[in-house]
């Protein structure tokens, strides 16, 4: 059986990870997975508009209004993730133990990348197996909510204006609270 937690610099393959997670386990009737990617979370909503087709920063739209780009903070050029080796893995193992207690699941696997990442790169994978989809969906969401607030990772974004550390968000704490866990990271 593959390790339950892996912190790594290299990319991962979802199909291979799921195959290893469910290998020879005939009880598995459901697999749920989540993949998180590096995105430019600072862009204003584009209402389905391809960002490459937007006018340049500060340009006006045909009707005279500001461009969608003008409401955005600087774009994310790259993201760097750091962790505390040993402590991070231990914290995620404890999260998986808690998911095993809360939900009727057979297995879970969390991979989180660290180091320098580019927009569109995969950052995190959470995969869960169970007999039925409901338990897998819930456990996967629980693990992701827990990971966002409790795992010891530090994230720095590089923008055209320079580097900045990313603070925790109140919405992440609220997501964890629905599981009955109170956190104050933001």
Q: What are 66-79's pLDDT values in tens digits?
A: 444 444 556 889 99
- Please give the average per-residue pLDDT across 163-175, as a whole number: 83
**142, 103 Cβ separation under 8 angstroms:** yes
Nearest to 185 by CA among 141, 157, 149, 144: 149
The predicted model scores a pTM of 0.80
Other beta carbons within 10 angstroms of residue 74's beta carbon come to: 15
- C-alpha angle with apex 82: 33 to 123, nearest 5 degrees? 25
Any idea what the CATH number is for the domain that residue 131 is in? 3.90.1170.40
User: Of the ranges 68-72, 98-102, 132-136, 162-166, which one carries the lowest mean pLDDT score?
Assistant: 68-72
User: Within a domain: residue 70?
Assistant: no
pLDDT at 184: 66
* Beta strand ranges found along the chain (DSSP E): 5-8, 30-37, 78-83, 105-113, 115-117, 122-130, 153-159, 162-165
Q: What are 14-41's pLDDT values in tens digits?
A: 999 999 999 999 999 999 999 999 987 6
- When the pLDDT of each residue in the chain is averaged and rounded to a whole number, the result is 84
User: Within a domain: residue 55?
Assistant: no
**pLDDT over 90 (residue 80):** yes
User: Within a domain: residue 65?
Assistant: no
User: Within a domain: residue 145?
Assistant: yes
Other beta carbons within 10 angstroms of residue 120's beta carbon come to: 9
Q: Which domain holds residue 110?
A: 5-41+76-177
User: Of the ranges 50-59, 97-106, 133-142, 144-153, which one carries the lowest mean pLDDT score?
Assistant: 50-59
Domain count, the chain: 1
């Amino acid at each position: 059986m593959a390790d339950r937690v892996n912190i790594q610099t290299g990319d991962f393959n979802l199909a291979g990870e799921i195959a290893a997670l469910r290998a020879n386990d005939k009880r598995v009737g459901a697999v749920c997975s989540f993949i998180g990617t590096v995105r430019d979370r600072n862009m204003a909503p584009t209402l389905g508009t391809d960002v490459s087709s937007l006018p340049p920063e500060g340009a006006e739209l045909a009707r005279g209004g500001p461009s969608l780009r003008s409401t955005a903070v600087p774009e994310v050029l790259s993201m760097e993730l750091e962790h505390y080796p040993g402590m991070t893995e231990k914290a995620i193992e404890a999260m998986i133990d808690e998911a095993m207690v809360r939900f009727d699941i057979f297995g879970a696997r969390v991979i989180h990348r660290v180091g320098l990442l580019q927009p569109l790169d995969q950052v995190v994978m959470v995969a869960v197996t169970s007999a039925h989809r409901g338990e897998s969906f819930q456990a996967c969401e629980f693990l992701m909510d827990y990971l966002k607030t409790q795992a010891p990772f530090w994230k720095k974004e590089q923008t055209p204006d320079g580097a900045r550390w990313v603070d925790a968000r109140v919405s992440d704490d609220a997501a964890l609270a629905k599981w009955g866990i109170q956190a104050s990271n933001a």
